[in-house]
Amino acid sequence: MGRKGDETRGRLLDATRDLIEAGGYYGAGLNQVIAASGMPRGSLYFHFPGGKDHMVAEALKRGGREIDQIVRDLSDAAPDTLTLVTGLLALLADRLEGSLWRKGCPVATVALEMAATSDPLQEVCAEVYGSWEQALRDRLIADGHPDADDLATTVLALIEGALLLARAHRSREPIDRVARRVALLLGG
């Protein structure tokens, strides 16, 4: 695919990601994606011959990779896991607040809506969450935590829950509270 094709595909995926993050699977209709991306309908069918689920799956993967890269970049710069997680929470809180409480997790809404009814989308959501959990686990292991598996799952669940509560309350306070508990959990 040429540069123009990559740009078109990227615009469609970015529009889809923004729409599913703000309104879930059902908030990202094909007409909304076309309008948000500014791309013609034919481009959508050309780049995603598998239809809406194909496009949503690719948008979830793209959003997942972006967060994964943020986690890995923070991990490279942070002296310990606690600094990584508190930095991540602050960044996600800024992102959520800056979006007027529309952008929490790029995966959560679709996971909640579609995990029981769409095996392919459930698998993509599980893959994305697994990647984030692995990044946390890797850092916990590097820091010498003997219970890295359990801690990685717990920390990811706390982050996801904090984002959900912050979005529901339209307040950073749940994220700030989780940051304080993570500090205790990780020995800070």
Q: Write the single-letter amino acid at 130.
A: G
CATH 1.10.357.10 matches 57-185: yes
Compute the radius of gyration of the chain from its Cα atoms.
17
List the chain domain ranges: 57-185
The reported pLDDT for the residue numbered 100 is 95
Q: Are 116 and 130 in contact (CB under 8 A)?
A: no
Segment 54-102, tens digit of pLDDT:
999 999 999 999 999 999 899 999 999 999 999 999 999 999 999 999 9
Query: Whole-angstrom Cα distance, residue 27 to residue 119?
Result: 20
Segment 99-144, tens digit of pLDDT:
999 988 989 999 999 989 999 999 999 999 999 999 999 999 999 9
| Widest Cα–Cα separation across the chain | 54
Beta-carbon contacts of residue 141 (< 8 Å; ≥ 6 apart): 148
Sign of CA dihedral 3, 106, 108, 22: negative
Q: What is the mean pLDDT of residues 152-170?
A: 97
Cβ atoms within 10 Å, residue 94: 12
Local structure of 144: helix, strand or coil: coil
Greater pLDDT, 72 or 161: 161
Q: How far is CA 79 from CA 75, 76, 85, 112, 148, in A?
A: 8, 8, 11, 34, 17
